[in-house]
Amino acid sequence: MPNPKQITERYFQSPSKYIQGPSAIKNAALYLEKLGKKPLLACDSNVFNIAGKSLLTTLESHGFQITHVEFAGESSAQEIDRMVGLGEGCDFVIGMGGGKTMDTAKAVASKLNLSVAILPTTASTDAPCSALSVIYTPNGEFERYAFFHANPDVVLVDTTVIARAPARFLAAGMGDAIATNVEAKLCKNSINFGGGLQTEVASAIGNKCEEVLLKYGKLAYEANKVQAVTPAFEAVVEANTLMSGLGFESGGLAAAHAIHNGFTAIPSLHHLLHGEKVAFGTVAQLILIGAPSAELDVYLSFMLSVDLPITFAQLGIPDVSDDEIRRVAKLSCAPGETIWNMQDPVTEELVFGAIKGADAAGRAYIARVGKSA
Ligand SMILES: [Zn+2]
């Protein structure tokens, strides 16, 4: 039942400021000084070498006093508590890096009751803009969503930094972003992450996100391979980060993300990025609702064009057993999962069939068009 309390208010939320452009980090002080002067900077050592040092240098030259904490790698309750302990005396939090670093920074800021600035170094997820974090166990299994009273105060996206990340990250972000419209369209009558119904603007953002990906996705992927910041690349970074973020939070998630969450229980998939599993979950959702072949082909073609996985073999689990898929289906249908936002009938058996059907549809598509769609 998508709306058991019969809520009738529409609800839309977003970060206070979103800034994106080449070499945007050089102007970080301008955008961050309203939040304070003593930030806790959470980033891992790799990100620190790529972009953290230059952020530190520019902020220090503007009189900021920075407490740098090295992110240990998992957005777990333990890691959040550790960072909260180190954040005493800071006046805002900066999360710089990938999805898990950002999710941890948002949770730390919420616990310390501080503002948070998010500086993504990849466009691999729609985590930067939302007022929620995904909390994992220390082993990397999905545990729960954590919700905060506000979205990030500043999201600052330096596209020169994003272009230096492997193109696989941009593709994964596209996998996460292509799910946005597909999922939100099924959530018209369900409650979004803000607690209300979808607005027309949330729906329009989801549509635009999909339009940009289908128009520029492949071009942006190729530009990223040569670290070129092009208009197509800028458009896709915005689709992955801003449009997907606003679109999923105020639009709603459905089966694709629930199936992704189920997949996190298969240890051999832990090397995959969030959006890679979401991409496959999107195909499974389309199978689950009985999407016609012509519609399915649009998404399969797009995913293949940016090397997103559409078969078990491409996911790296060619010999996955029915028992394992049943476990994924069971977790996808856990109480409170976003799969229950859908009006369509959902059972573990139907989801099991949809996951196997997605692999079969992916293999058939590849056999029909060849691998390089
Ligand atoms: Zn996602």
- Same domain? For 284 and 334 the reply is yes
Q: Is 270 a catalytic residue?
A: no
Question: Among residues 103, 260, 322, 344, which one is catalytic?
Answer: 260
- Provide the Cα torsion 327, 330, 332, 338; round to 10°: -170
- Same domain? For 191 and 312 the reply is yes
- Same domain? For 225 and 158 the reply is no
- Same domain? For 203 and 334 the reply is yes
Span from the CA of 74 to the centroid of ligand 1 (angstroms): 16
**For residue range 314-371, what is the model confidence (pLDDT) as tens digits?**
999 999 999 999 999 999 999 999 999 998 899 999 999 999 999 999 999 999 998 6
> β-strand 67-70 against 39-43: which pairing, if any?
parallel
Q: Tell me, yes or no, whether 9 lies in a domain.
A: no
Strand partners, 145: 134
Q: What is the CATH number of the domain that holds 41?
A: 3.40.50.1970
The full DSSP string for 10-58 is B-----SEEEEETTGGGGHHHHHTTT-S-EEEEE-HHHIIIIIHHHHHH
Span from the CA of 126 to the centroid of ligand 1 (angstroms): 6
Domain-ending residue, one of 118, 143, 164: 164
Domain-ending residue, one of 138, 164, 190: 164
- Same domain? For 93 and 171 the reply is no
Q: Residue 153: give the domain boundaries.
A: 17-164
* C-beta separation of 177 from 239 below 8 A: yes
* C-beta separation of 119 from 107 below 8 A: no
Question: Among residues 44, 126, 158, 176, which one is catalytic?
Answer: 176
d(Cα 327, Cα 321) in Å, to the nearest integer?
A: 10
Strand partners, 118: 95, 155
d(Cα 3, Cα 13) in Å, to the nearest integer?
A: 19
Can you give the pLDDT at residue 140? 85
* Block residue for tokens 């593709």: 171
Question: Among residues 274, 307, 319, 344, which one is catalytic?
Answer: 274
Considering the chain, what percentage of its residues have pLDDT values greater than 70? 99
Can you give the pLDDT at residue 340? 96
Span from the CA of 102 to the centroid of ligand 1 (angstroms): 13
d(Cα 61, Cα 82) in Å, to the nearest integer?
A: 28
Q: What is the CATH number of the domain that holds 309?
A: 1.20.1090.10
- Same domain? For 156 and 211 the reply is no
Q: How confident is the model at residue 270 (pLDDT cuts 50, 70, 90)?
A: confident
Domain-ending residue, one of 102, 133, 164: 164
Can you give the pLDDT at residue 141? 87
Span from the CA of 287 to the centroid of ligand 1 (angstroms): 19
Half-sphere exposure of 371 (CA within 13 A, CB side): 5
Span from the CA of 60 to the centroid of ligand 1 (angstroms): 34
- Same domain? For 213 and 351 the reply is yes
- Same domain? For 134 and 200 the reply is no
Q: Is 149 a catalytic residue?
A: no
